[in-house]
Every structure is written in C-alpha cells, then in structure tokens.
Amino acid sequence: MLLKHLSLDLNNDEYSEEETTRFGFQTRYLTHFVERRMRRLRFHADGFNQLLIEGRRYPLDGCPIVPDKTALSTVVFDAARYQTANEESRHSLFLQILADGIEKAARSFTIPLHELKTAMEGFVEGGYVNKWTTKRKLGSGLYAWLDCLLDQSRFLLTLRVELRGSIIVEDDVLETLPDDLLFHGEFADVRIDEGSYVVVVDSSGDPIYSRRLDVPSETFARRKSPRGGSKQSSDASILVPVPDEDRSTGAVEIERHADGRAFERLSAQRVGAHYAVTGTPLYARGIARQDVVEAEPDRDGGIPVPIVTNRTQRSKYGVVRVRCDSEEVAWQVIGLLEERGLEPGFTVERPGFAEDIDWPKTGHVRFPTKAGDIEIAAWRVAADLPPKSRRGHIREAVKDLDGVLGYDDSCAEGTDI
C-alpha cells in the first residue's frame, strides 16, 4: 500500500496528554514538509501506509506494525534536552529524532530512506522553513497568491494581490495551531466576487475573507473577445450535453433531467447573441475554453439555462483530462500539471448517482464536505491546454503514472477516456 503519512509523537503512557499534544504541534512543521515529498514518491510499503516515530524512555527492540496500518519506530527521547531547548535549538533535536526513527524503521522494513533523508536535508538548506504558495489569475494583470507558512507555533495563511507588478494587498487571512487537521479545508481558493471584491473561500465555498479592490473597473468588467476585439460581456452559465457513457457517473457536475438528458454546466461570458466559454469541461466533449457557441434554453422541457446547440468558432485551447484511482494520484497529477503552467481542477466519481450527497463547489475545484463511507470510483482531473502547450511533454509526464486510469488531451473533438 502507498506510504502516505509520517509523524513524530511521544508515548502516551510515559508522557501526559499536555506534553504529547504540545510535542505533536511543535514537530508537525517538519513532518509535514517531509511527508509532502514522500507522497510524491508513491512508494508502496508492505503492510502499512503510515510511519510513526515515537519518543520513549525505553524504546522497543523492533518495529511492529500496530493498528491503523502504522509502522511504529520507537527511539530514545531526551526529555531534559527538550525541556531546556528554545525554538532555534529544537530544529536539530526534532531532526535527530526523526533521523533515528526512520533509520531504525529501515532496518525492519523497506522504506525510501535515501529520499526521506534528502527531504530532511532540503528542510535544513531551506532554513528550517515549511512554506508553499498557490497562485491565481484574477483579471487583466491582476494576480493573487495564498502564501502558507507552517512553523513550530502556528499555521499562517497570507493573501497577496498584485496588480501589474505592484503589491496592492498583503493581509493575514487565517491563523491556526500548527496541524493540518486544523487548517485543512479552512481555505480552498481565491476569487473575485461582486465585480471588485477579492474573496478567500473555504472548502464549502463560504467566504473567510473579503476586501474591496481599488483598481480600474476594466480590470474586471471588460473581457477580450475571442474574435480579437473588445466587447462588453456578462457572466452566464450554459449546459453542454455529456456522452452517454458518463451519464451514470456519480459526479455532481453532471445534471440529469427526467427526460433522460444529461448536461455539464459551464461558466461562460455572454458576447452579443453568443456565449464565450470560460469554464473547463470535465465531461463535456467538443468544447473548450474560449470557444464561441450558440445556446438556447429549453423552456418547454423545463430547462431555463441555455443549452449549447452549435459551436460557431473554435478557439486554440484544448483540454487535458486524467482519470485517477485515488486522491493521492489526483494530487500528484495536479502538481505535475501545475509545474507545467496549467491550472487544473478535479472532481470525484462514484458508482451510481450523486444527487443525495452534498458535494459543494469551491471555485474551480470541488471538495466533498464529508468522506465517510462514500464509495469513490475515481478522481478526475481536468485543465485547460493553452495554445502552443507542449502536449507531448505533458502527456509523457502524466499518462504512465501508477494509478492513472485514463488520459485524454484532445482539443475539442477527442474521444472519452
């Protein structure tokens, strides 16, 4: 099974709940850094998916596999050194405990020891800092960054907004104790709402931060027409028919109607009597970003949202769609696509229909509000392929990964994966 988790802890029988909790918080900045790099390896371990390094007064001789598919590696914990250490000196203490633990585990199990040590070396070379950033384009020359910092005392999320090279916003948005269980889902995306407000939303789509931007109105209100001119446009939604084979897929993006028809709803801009597509199709075929289409509502059939009937102009955009067997593979694919300049989103599929499940939409990425016992059939990742994208380069990086069930990088006429 895939090795996914890495943690440092103190033995619950030898140390108080307060001591173990504080130690867990203080060490997560290190294990989170190494764990993220470990997950990219997609390393298959024999009988466990978690590696727990546990500090004790009297360590065990071997490394047993304990409940929850966890390989337990116990090491000597120097309580006196820990109690007198300051934040700076704790870096080396925590690194030594982690190194002792993974080296002991490597004597009992096959683990990616060299890669884990390399990740730890990178942590030291980076100044003992665990930080990462997500970038979004919000408008013409307008970009936003969500800067994440995880250290021994806190997790801090900072929003930076840049307009044509100048920082116009730099605000702390969220602060929690240093544990991803606490900040996971508390933020998910940044977007523009109500014309001029920059909004950070959580995984349920609810805003956690909002601020009006004092920028020229044309930054948001005017869009470059796919025909090359500049026309006033308005936000809209359109429905695109999905292939028959996808109609039974349990994905919230597919809207099913009583007459048997099924559609995917995409965002669009109304340009004159036509629509310019601005969304990324996860299922719909024969359509891509910046295509210009004709669409009419079927009021007699009870569907007031315009349904695409014809494509009048094809853009130079394409779509890459990747179907994955697990969330871990989907995130690996997302990382590879982002490294190549794409902005992917993803959804989940499950057997049967999904009308009874609350799968809220958060910006371009969909997150389940609960995992629970919901049976997931696959994870699907999709991204726009801008003109002149190196499709072969992207294809070779993604399609042969373990866990990728299918790959398609058609322009707009491809077959389904």
Lowest mean pLDDT among 214-218, 264-268, 308-312, 404-408: 214-218
Do 24 and 73 sit in the same domain of this protein? Answer: yes
User: Based on the domain organization, do 372 and 400 belong to the same domain?
Assistant: yes
Q: Quote the CA–CA distance of 112 and 329 in Å, as a whole number.
A: 18
Percent of the chain's residues with pLDDT above 70: 80
Shared domain for 298 and 322, answered yes or no, is no
The mean pLDDT of the chain is 81
For residues 290 and 325, membership in a common domain is answered with no
Same domain membership, residue 375 and residue 270: no
| Residue of higher predicted confidence among 412 and 19 | 19
Would you state the pLDDT for residue 44?
A: 93
Same domain, 280 and 204: no
Q: Does pLDDT of 357 surpass 60?
A: no
147 in a structural domain: yes
Q: What is the pLDDT of residue 258?
A: 62
At 254, phi and psi to the nearest 5? -90, 120
Q: What angle do CA 94, 97, 103 make, to 5 degrees?
A: 135
Tens-place pLDDT, residues 269-292: 888 788 898 888 888 888 888 899
Identify the band that residue 371 occupies on the pLDDT scale cut at 50, 70 and 90: very low
The yes-or-no verdict on residue 92 having pLDDT over 70 is yes
Predicted local confidence at residue 253, as pLDDT: 54
Q: What is the CATH number of the domain that holds 376?
A: 3.30.70
Look at residue 413 and tell me if it is in a domain. Answer: no
Is residue 11 domain-shared with residue 119, that is, in the same domain?
yes
| Residue 300 covered by a domain | yes
- Does residue 417 lie within any of the structural domains? no
Domain, as residue range, for 352:
318-408
**93 and 169: one domain?**
no
User: Do 303 and 336 have their domain in common?
Assistant: no
Q: Which of 192, 219, 246 is the last residue of a domain?
A: 219
Mean pLDDT on 195-203:
82
Question: What CA–CA distance (Å, rounded) separates 30 from 84?
Answer: 20
And the tokens for 46? 């024999």
pLDDT tens figures, 109-137: 999 999 999 999 999 999 999 998 887 77
Residue 368 has pLDDT above 50, yes or no: no
Higher per-residue pLDDT: 233 or 20: 20
Average pLDDT over residues 329-352: 72
Last residue of a domain, one of 280, 313, 346: 313
The answer to whether position 415 is within a domain reads no
The CA-atom distances, in angstroms, between 7 and each of 26, 50, 94, 238 are 11, 8, 11, 46
* Residue 188 within a domain: yes
91-95, 252-256, 262-266: lowest mean pLDDT where? 252-256
- The angle at the Cα of 286, spanning 281 to 289, to the nearest 5 degrees, equals 50
- Give the DSSP letter string of 254-272: EEE-TTS-EEEEEEEEEET
Same domain flag for 62 and 85: yes
The answer to whether residue 94 scores a pLDDT higher than 70 is yes
User: How many independent structural domains does the chain possess?
Assistant: 4
Asked whether the predicted pLDDT for residue 244 surpasses 80, the reply is no
pTM: 0.59
| Domain end residue (candidates: 278, 313, 348) | 313
Q: Is residue 54 part of a domain?
A: yes
Residues 6+ apart with CB under 8 A from 405: 323, 324, 325, 378, 417
199 and 246, same domain (yes or no):
no
CA angle (22, 27, 31) in 5-degree steps: 145
In a domain, 416, yes or no: no
pLDDT score of 103: 97
The pLDDT confidence band at residue 220, using thresholds 50, 70 and 90, is low
* Contact status, residue 146 vs residue 187, Cβ threshold 8 Å: yes
pLDDT of residue 77: 97
Of the two residues 250 and 187, the one the predictor is more confident about is 187
88 and 15 both lie in a single domain: yes
pLDDT digits (tens, 9 = 90+) for 7-45: 999 999 999 999 999 999 999 999 999 998 998 888 999
The arithmetic mean of pLDDT across residues 258-266, rounded, is 76
* pLDDT at 366 > cutoff 50: no
Q: In what order do the strands lie in the sheet with 65-66?
A: 5-10, 50-56, 70-76, 65-66
